[in-house]
Amino acid sequence: MRRILASLFLFCASFFFAPQSASAVTIDSAPVGNAGNGNDPLTGNLYGSVSYDYRIGTTKVTNTQYAAFLNEKAKSDPLSLYNASMGSDARGGITQSGISPNFSYTPKTDMGNKPVNFVSWYDSIRFANWLNNGQGAGDTETGAYMLDGGTPTPSNGLSINRELGATWFLTSENEWYKAAYHQPAAEGGDADNYWLYPTASNSVPTIATAKGVGDISNPGTNVANYFQGAVWNSLTGNLTTVGSAGPLSQGFYGTSDQGGNVYEWNEALINGSFRGVRGGAFNVSASFLQSSSRNIGTFPTIEGSTLGFRVATIPEPSTLVLVGLAAWGWRRRR
């Protein structure tokens, strides 16, 4: 028994403490509990029920994180993971250098901690696959999602679903919605367990003002980065540093920026041809940040300055069991 437990301990230690490459990406995540919660009862808006515990990225994926992905998987970029607007557009955050097959990628000055944008739905699930497969040389076409064809737009694009056993993935619409708006009334939430805005509030958020480098200069309660006009303005507004609205503007589970900055892709397939986006952006009014605002969907190939994403995770049960056994054996030995 001691030998078995020792082997298990060594296996777990190698899993958790193995050296990682210099480009390894760390995704800070927050636990989302209260499994089995009901949907938001708001008329016609029945979203938010999740039957399991999971963790979700505390912020959107940043330019620094996505650049690390590009440096591993886009040296020749046959899958078009890089959009030239990331470099040429003032709101893009990543430059490309060199020539294929030796492209390299660097976040622009003061843009590393801004949300990555100009990413398609397929880019976002390929990043999730890469995380799911251990980063580094990890595959982008298998893992959490199976993508067929080896082309930028997979041949099975509109039938792609999350695979059983996925550990890192793009958020489902319900996972995203729960993390953004849910808070049990018994734990200080609204009477129906859901807020209207992802800043733990039913009141219109205060519009963020930005410092020169894009940090929000007025962090506080109920602050978000969106446009003050009635509808939208493609020429107004800019990206702000993820999380810089401060902890008082987070959702109940500890997520930042689920309202404004850039929209976030989710897994939803809408009307057979579109993928879901939620949360609003820097150039839309506060109404787009509301829980009641469900976009009719966006073509999954679209890449724009207002489109980004967030990932979520569920640790592998086998890993948790092994860690538990190793810890149990260590206690018994002592």
Asked whether the predicted pLDDT for residue 107 surpasses 90, the reply is yes
Q: Express each pLDDT in 291-326 by its tens digit.
A: 999 888 899 999 999 999 999 999 766 444 433 433
Question: What token pair was written down for 322?
Answer: 């092994």
Residue 22, number of CB atoms within 10 A of its CB: 7
- Binned at pLDDT 50, 70 and 90, residue 204 comes out as very high
- Please tell me the pTM assigned to this model: 0.88
Helix spans in the chain (H): 2-17, 63-73, 85-88, 121-132, 173-181, 317-333
pLDDT band, residue 28 (cuts 50/70/90): very high
Where are any strands of DSSP class E within the chain? 29-32, 54-57, 94-97, 104-107, 168-170, 206-207, 223-224, 263-270, 274-278, 307-309, 311-313
pLDDT at 7 over 90: no
User: What percent of the chain clears pLDDT 70, i.e. is strictly above it?
Assistant: 84
Region 53-68: what's the mean pLDDT?
98
Among 96-110, 170-184, 218-232, 294-308, the range scoring the smallest mean pLDDT is: 218-232
Kindly report the backbone phi and psi dihedral angles of residue 268, in degrees, each rounded to the nearest multiple of 5, phi listed first. -55, 135
Indicate the average pLDDT of the chain.
Answer: 87
What domains appear along the chain, each with residue ranges and CATH number?
28-322 (3.90.1580)
Residue 236: per-residue pLDDT: 66
Condensed to tens digits (0 to 9), the pLDDT of residues 239-280 reads 999 999 999 999 999 999 999 999 999 999 999 999 999 999
pLDDT on residue 56: 98
**Confidence (pLDDT) at 123:** 98
Give the strand pairing for 263-270 and 307-309: parallel
